């Protein structure tokens, strides 16, 4: 009985926290992703049209195909890779969503190493 009384508050707290997952709201649109490299803030802009993504970073534009695995997960593959590293597909997983942003996790397909970031919808 003591175990049940102990678990009840824990379960109540866990069930109260439901992260939003409105991933379909982010399948298309214009977005911005800010990150830091060696202490310098960088920004990339991209437009997603369901199965294609056009990204602009440091004045260069690149195109990638998108294969949706589920409403919240997709695989990104550059259409015109310039080197071996760019040939590798990237796994993207939307973890939580808000009105105009989402938090995601990404990494090379097959790699255990993952990073996280936050994307903002600009249009």
**Residue 74 lies in domain:** 19-121
What percentage of the chain has pLDDT greater than the value 70? 84
Rounding to the nearest 10 degrees, give the CA dihedral for residues 46, 66, 68, 15.
-30
Domain assignment present for 31: yes
Tens digits of residue pLDDT in 88-109: 999 999 999 999 999 999 999 9
Domain assignment present for 71: yes
pTM attached to this predicted model: 0.79
Q: 3 falls in which pLDDT band (50, 70, 90)? A: very low
Domain assignment present for 90: yes
Tens digits of residue pLDDT in 42-89: 999 999 997 999 999 999 999 999 999 999 999 999 999 989 988 999
Strand residues in the chain grouped as ranges (E): 28-37, 40-49, 52-57, 60-70, 73-78, 90-97, 101-108, 115-121
Domain assignment present for 25: yes
Domain assignment present for 101: yes
CATH code of 27's domain: 2.40.128
Query: What total of structural domains would you count in the chain?
Result: 1
């Amino acid at each position: 009985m003591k175990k049940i009384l102990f678990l009840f508050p824990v379960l109540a707290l866990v069930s109260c926290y439901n992260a939003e997952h409105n991933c379909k709201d982010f399948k298309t649109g214009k977005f911005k992703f800010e990150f830091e490299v060696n202490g310098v803030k960088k920004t990339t802009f991209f437009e997603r049209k369901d199965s294609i993504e056009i990204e602009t970073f440091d004045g260069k534009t690149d195109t990638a195909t998108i294969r949706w695995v589920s409403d919240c997960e997709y695989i990104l593959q550059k259409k015109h890779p310039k080197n071996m590293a760019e040939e590798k597909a990237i796994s993207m997983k939307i973890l939580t969503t808000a009105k105009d942003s989402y938090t995601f996790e990404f990494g090379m397909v097959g790699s255990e190493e993952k990073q996280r970031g936050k994307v903002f919808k600009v249009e």
